Amino acid sequence: MGLLALHVPSQTIGKVVKFYDGVDSVYTSTTNNAPVEGPVVAFESGDTFVGEEDSIVPLTPEEGEYYVAVLQSVGLNMKACAEAGAKRGMTQAKGMLLIGVALKTYVREINRMLSKAAG
């Protein structure tokens, strides 16, 4: 399939490798080896999600390109932050902790802005 999709509840984006419609193709849970009722989408990462209504949203090619570009940009910036921490004599663990805290701060702000925009 190769389509990028967003699983809304977990805020996970992945490349769809298999779609089980729950009728002609049924997903068997790796947790309990039982068939899963309803549609299931499998991502290239190995993550699988039950396709409850509106929980899986396909990304347009433009949205997919944007997402990949954002990942690349964040990755480059994290590398630069790690290097800056090392120059200041920080341990890798402390540098990663501080990067994680900074990212969580941005995520909280993004979520606050999204909530405000949703009204």
* Model pLDDT, residue 1: 56
Q: How much is the pLDDT for 54? A: 85
In the predicted structure, residue 19 carries a pLDDT above the cut 80: yes
> In whole angstroms, how far apart are CA 43 and each of 6, 72, 109, 118, 119?
10, 20, 28, 28, 32
Write the pLDDT tens digit of every residue in 85-99: 999 999 999 999 999
Compute the average pLDDT of residues 58-67: 95
Domain residue ranges of the chain, discontinuous segments joined by +: 4-58, 61-118
Q: Please state the rounded mean pLDDT for residues 46-71.
A: 92
